[in-house]
Amino acid sequence: MGWQGIKPTDFALKMVEESEDHVKKVATVGLQSVITMSPVMDGAYRGNHRISLNTEDHSFSESTQDLSGNGTLTKGSSEIAKLKLGNTLYIQNNAPYAVRLENGWSDQAPTGIYSIAFMNMRTV
């Protein structure tokens, strides 16, 4: 009698694929959340949300401005697409005033940005 149903190796591969897809979805929600909740004056904070894999990105450039957030989302999404199980994904912003914004410094984001984004990610 031959094997019936999905083979264990096929099942394992499918689980890896589905798990990676889910992690990518959670990361995308996180990125979208930090972008949309970012207070905007000149777009520098919004434009400096960084996505990196396995290594933190400590860069910041005042000239990297993105009022709409579309460019930041596109760039970050291309990094999220590279994610594999076992990778560490970082979503960060190294603006010198990022901690103040997170602590309610801006009337546009009185409850912070990343803390709220993390709560949004938990619901995916």
Please give the tally of structural domains in the chain: 1
Q: Which residues, 6 or more positions from 34, have their beta carbon under 8 angstroms from its beta carbon?
A: 49, 91, 93, 113, 114, 117
- Give dist(CA 106, CA 40) in Å, integer: 10
Tens-digit pLDDT profile for residues 103-114 = 999 999 999 999
Flag whether 58 is in a domain: yes
| Across 2-7, average pLDDT | 74
pLDDT at 52: 97
Flag whether 19 is in a domain: yes
pLDDT at 11: 86
pLDDT band of residue 46 (cuts 50, 70, 90) is very high
| Across 40-48, average pLDDT | 96
Flag whether 61 is in a domain: yes
- Give dist(CA 111, CA 104) in Å, integer: 5
* Neighbouring-strand partners of residue 90: 52
Flag whether 47 is in a domain: yes
Flag whether 2 is in a domain: no
pLDDT at 3: 65
Flag whether 90 is in a domain: yes
Show the tokens assigned to 45.
């904070």
pLDDT at 6: 79
Show the tokens assigned to 52.
């990196």
Mean pLDDT score of the chain, rounded to an integer?
Answer: 94
Flag whether 103 is in a domain: yes
Question: C-alpha angle 77/97/88, rounded to 5°?
Answer: 35
| Across 6-30, average pLDDT | 92
Q: Domain range holding 44?
A: 8-122
pLDDT at 1: 57
